Amino acid sequence: IPHGGGGPGVGPVAAKAHLAQFLPGHPMAQREWPLPEGSTGTGALEEPDHRNIVSAAPYGSPSILPISWAYVRMMGADGLKQATGAAVLAANYVAVRLRDHYPVLYSGDNGLVAHECILDLRPLTE
């Protein structure tokens, strides 16, 4: 299931025409996109590039949506609020414990992170 029960695995992804060649593909799907008004070209790739194939579903995998829906229904409003609070608390615990050892990316002005703590591990490769 994609992160959060949504994202590119669930449905189509929008992008500007110049990025079309980098979008995920499917060997059986037509690779042609509409271009903005005034653009030149057709929006079609001259030769399909199958290097970008991600999965066998050309338009996403909407069949996973009932799993996310069931989770929300089972948790209810109070359960979702409690789970969110626990995620934020846990992420900030990890961030505080590790910030003296690794840079914490994407923290707010107050030094707190949201529901996930992202550490910069690039120094390990240097």
Total residue count of the chain as it appears in this document? 126
* Most confident of the following: 27-31, 38-42, 76-80: 76-80
Residue pLDDT, tens place only, 53-97: 555 555 556 677 788 889 999 999 999 999 999 999 999 999 999
Cβ-Cβ contacts under 8 Å for 95 (sequence gap 6 or more):
104, 107, 111, 112, 113, 117
| Spatial CA neighbour of 6 closest among 77, 55, 67 | 67
Domain layout of the chain by residue ranges: 1-60, 76-126
Given this model, what pLDDT does residue 20 score? 75
Sign of CA dihedral 112, 113, 117, 118: negative
Q: Is the pTM of this model over 0.75?
A: no
